Amino acid sequence: MLEPSFCQPTRISRSVARFGALALAAILAACGGSDDDGSANAGATATLAVLETTDLHFNVRSYDYFKLAEDKSYGFERTATLVRAARKEFANTLLVDNGDSIQGTALADYEATISPIPCTQQLSMYKAMGALGFDAGTLGNHEFNYGLPFLNQVLGGGLDVEGVDATKKCAGAGYPMALANVYSSKTKKPLVQPYTILERTLTAKGADGKEVKLPIKVGVIGFTTPGIMNWDKRYLEGKVYTEGAVEAATKYVPELRAKGADVVVALLHGGLDSAAYSPTMENPGLHLSKVAGIDAMVMGHQHSVFPDAAATPAYRQAGVDNKAGTINGVPAVMASSWGKSLGVIQLALQWDGSKWVVNKTASKSELRNTQSKNAAGATVYVEPDAAVAQLIETQHQAAIQYVKTPIGSTDFRMSTLFADVGDPGAIQIVNQAQQAYVAAYIKASLPQYAALPVLSVSAPFKSGFQGGADYTDVAVGPLAINNAADLYLYPNTVYAVKVNGGDIKNWLEAAAKRFNQIDPAKTTEQSLISTFPGYNFDMFTTPDLQYEIDVTQPVGSRIKNLAYLGKPMDVAQEFVIATNNYRATSGKSFIDKLDGSGTIWASPDANRDVVIDYIRKNPTVTRATNGAAKSWRFAKATTAGPVVFSSGANALSVAQAAGLTNVSLLAADDGLGKGTSKYGIDLSK
């Protein structure tokens, strides 16, 4: 941590407003006989290391609350070790957090909704971060997931917005938040301060080579995703509004400069997208980097990594330099998620006699990971910081008790290991829960839609992206809350949309991008699964709706024999589809109506809670009732060569138990280094 400096005569004028004339005299006296007027040190240089955490998602511990087991691959307790190491390495550091900190684990839900943390106590995430001492942060979209009164409480008060007691004083985050592009509708002012100015003292190297201490003002400004207005509409509509990151930066960065900020660090809870700029764009980093006066940019939200030329996929848009770690010349980082990386921007600074100037070309950025390979090729992990875990131990144990609460039982292994090839075993119960929930609501409260059939879609949220353990996998036996959270990974809320039969076909065509186009004539091996994320592979799981996916056809022409109640789908017939807030509001790439315009009900309830509730009401879960309804299969095709895919290691018995007799195990180790096996699928069967 840098210490505040009040002892630099050339800088005193900046402090007068804060300390007043008497204090100024005292400061001058305290500075004694120094004849250092700052300008004597012109030419001094220093490195300021900006350290970034982002998208921690309440992963204080390296612990999986779904599996009730340690997972060393993430957790702030290990990032903390990297922070301490960086502070030893660099004389001058600034630690910032980029948001999406307070949501994402069962512990987060526990402290927000199950046993709400009292006003006098810090959230466990903030408490853990406090052990390291953050200098500043911003808010991600997920900070809004529990509503504004809760956010007001955990930030310590001060949100002057309708429905919130802004005067409530609570424990708070422990570090200043800056957010420039979300405004209170009540005050027309930023919901939290748009920026903060940190006054610190840098240890610098004088032109004569001697160490010299010089003051610096670092301006920190934050931006979040305008998508909050859709995703948390029920909490935010009419209460706050957003502005584009570029518009907010154009307004406030000059203000920061005018107030004497030597350096401006932008905390963007967003990443990079090569699309043309719009004020509602989710990932405007390429555009924000071009706003004059921004010296460094800390990114996130996409849970990706920058700089990292070897990442798959790596950012490759025009203006991105993965080697230098710059975006349009601005040093930048994106430190993965869940504490897996620490971003480090080394800002090279020069003292011109009265202020610091950033030498951007001499600056650089890098990521430091908690996980790496040693010389022997084995995965090794940074050790956890000794102080962090014990700080939250009581709450950690309480969250474990919460997620272990039994709510039912299952007679089959509910997994997404083979969801990509037709096993509905972990998805059907989600669809059943969503369907029942929406149908009941329509009957009670939306009579104008009572005549429409209600169907549901969901997707295999965990489908191997992170490796062989990244699948929903619920064992036979008792079902507890942690299992329900495994069945529904995200803290989404249920939304109902009105579409017609034609929309359903197009929706499914978009979801079928999950597959590469298979050439039946090709004799060499072809990989079935594309890079289109599994969580976007929406599917129905009901005998009422049937379709085939023809992977030999190009994207857009794959859905065959779509039928409702045994008859070809009438493109004009209307339906209500239960889905989630993300799909309903930002699913325009599926069908136009998923831009929010098709929504007939934005429910306040989390899909996960709806699933938990459904299991509570239907506690005896069976394959026959809850895991065997296949709405779709692959259209039959004879291929000259093998069609292959990866899934969890040695899990063929799971496919067989699901009745997928066309799946075979080809190699126990598929060679990807992710703990997955290679499977074949015979599309002719």
Positions in the binding site for Mn ion (CB under 5 A) = 55, 100
- Binding site partner of 181, from Mn ion, Mg ion, none, Cβ cut-off 5-8 A by kind: none
Which 3 state secondary structure label does DSSP give 279? coil
CA atoms of 158 and 166, how far apart (whole Å): 4
Question: What is the radius of gyration, based on Cα positions, of the chain?
Answer: 27
On whether the CB atoms of residues 179 and 138 are closer than 8 A, the answer is: yes
Choose among 453, 592, 484, 101: nearest CA to 301: 101
Interacting residue with Mg ion among 38, 104, 137, 140 (CB under 5 A) = 140
Shortest Cβ 330–Mg ion spacing (Å):
21
Q: In the bound complex, what is the minimum distance in angstroms from residue 584's beta carbon to Mg ion?
A: 18
CB of 329 to Mn ion, least distance (A): 27
| Angle at the Cα of 371 from the Cα atoms of 367 and 374, rounded to 5 degrees | 110
DSSP letters for 605-628: EEHHHHHHHHHHHS-EE-HHHHS-
Residue 4, preceding peptide bond in cis (omega within 30° of 0): no
For Mg ion, the closer CB: 19 or 490 = 490
Q: By C-beta, is 99 or 331 nearer to Mg ion?
A: 99
100 vs 503, which CB is nearer to Mg ion?
100
| CA distance linking residue 52 with residue 340, whole number of Å | 11
Q: Which does 141 bind (CB under 5 to 8 A by kind): Mn ion, Mg ion, none?
A: Mg ion
Percent of the chain that is helix, strand, coil (3-state, to 5): 30, 25, 45
Q: Residue holding tokens 């090709």? A: 522
Peptide bond into 313 cis (omega under 30): yes
Binding mask 313-352 vs Mg ion (x if CB under 5 A, - otherwise)? ----------------------------------------
Contact with Mg ion (CB under 5 A) among 52, 64, 100, 143: 100
Nearer residue to Mn ion within complex by CB, 100 or 670 = 100
Name the E strands within 391-430.
406-410, 414-415
Closest distance to Mn ion from the beta carbon of 334 (Å):
11
User: Which residue's C-beta sits nearest to Mn ion?
Assistant: 100
Look up residue 594 and give its DSSP letter.
G
CB of 510 to Mg ion, least distance (A): 23
Distances from the Cα of 161 to the Cα of 142, 152, 172, 178, angstroms: 18, 9, 17, 17
Interacting stretch for Mg ion, rule CB under 5 A, among 99-107, 504-512, 526-534, 658-666?
99-107
Residue 423 interacts with which of Mn ion, Mg ion, none, CB < 5 to 8 Å by class: none
Helices (H) and strands (E) in the chain, counts: 18, 37
Q: Check residue 57 for interaction with Mg ion (CB under 5 A).
A: no
> What is d(CA 614, CA 201) in angstroms, rounded to the nearest whole number?
57
Q: Which helix (H) or strand (E) holds 442?
A: helix 428-445
Q: Which of 217, 301, 396, 678 binds Mg ion (CB under 5 A)?
A: 301
The DSSP secondary-structure symbol of 286 reads H
Interface with Mg ion by CB under 5 A: which range of 139-147, 312-320, 352-360, 614-622? 139-147
In the complex, the smallest distance separating the C-beta of residue 336 from Mg ion, rounded to whole angstroms, is: 13
Q: How far is the CB of 112 from Mg ion (least distance, A)?
A: 17
Q: Closest CB to Mg ion among 301 and 593?
A: 301
Q: How far is the CB of 36 from Mg ion (least distance, A)?
A: 45
Binder to Mg ion among 141, 328, 579, 639 (CB under 5 A)? 141
From the list 84-92, 133-141, 231-239, 271-279, the region that binds Mg ion by CB under 5 A is 133-141
Residue whose CB is less far from Mn ion, 101 or 631 = 101
Considering only the stretches 253-261, 297-305, 382-390, 624-632, report the one whose residues sit in contact with Mg ion under the rule CB under 5 A. 297-305
- Residues near Mg ion (CB under 5 A) are 100, 140-141, 301
